[in-house]
Amino acid sequence: MRLFYGIFVLVFCIGQCYSHDPLSLIDGVNATEGEFPYMVSLRLGRIIGEHACGGSIIGPTWVLSAAHCMSLYAVRFGTIKLNNYKTDPEYTMKIKNYYPHPDFDLIRVNRTWGYPINDIALYELEEPLPYGPNVQPIKLAAKDQTIPYKKMGIFAGWGYTSNWGDSSDILQKINITLYEPDYCIHNSMDIYQNDGTDICAGSDKKGRGVCYTDSGGPFVVDGIQYGVLSWMTVPCGSHVVGFSNIVHFRDWIFSISGI
């Protein structure tokens, strides 16, 4: 299969990848058009444009996502409809450059167990996005912003609706709570990086959470993006999920994009 999928399995199949437990649904609800104007779908391939990761618009020609999503071809924007196998020019923009964080790495523990560090990337688009009601940038947390621990935020994505399912054709949304570092340390299967690079969150309802191909999506609290989805514990909807901490990486984002 594609290189991206191999890396994706390395990052996300942590612990018992082939669990015999019942499937854990994301348990999200459909978003409405224009509700998340900053959301984009990052696409594989020049022909079918298959969804690979989520991302957020941060400027006219800039999208923020996870570094483990790798170098992709295009973004789909301005709609909640995924349309996996269509490349609609009205909603598609080609990617010009891919800028992973220089210290990004996939720390391999064994053949099936690994985790990412400094997992954040910028994608520069070939042309400016056509801003309008359904296409707008998200505000990023400032480098001196206080992390709003214990506060509920929102996450949106087109990820799998079950562990062995497929990407959702309609953008889904869920509310999740930002946990304090001590909780993350003790509930993340040793994936959480307690050095300021990660934040973590989760739902109080078992079976509600992110899943495969939600990678790179934005975690937003009160209209401000604090995180980029980097990793999760399996099965989908269990334990905690980890985000690259925008507050920590804010200077790097500005150094590349000027934003």
Q: Return the active site residues.
A: 68, 119, 215
Type of residue at 183: Y
C-alpha 246/C-alpha 197 separation (Å) is 8
Question: 196 and 245 in contact (C-beta within 8 Å)?
Answer: yes
Please, which residues have CB within 8 angstroms of residue 183's CB and are 6 or more apart in sequence? 200, 240
Question: 231 and 244 in contact (C-beta within 8 Å)?
Answer: no
Question: 38 and 136 in contact (C-beta within 8 Å)?
Answer: yes
Strand-pair partners of 56: 39, 64
Using CA of residue 143, residue 149, residue 152, residue 155, what is the dihedral sign? positive
221 φ, ψ (degrees, to nearest 5): -125, 120
Pairing of strands 139-140, 224-232: parallel
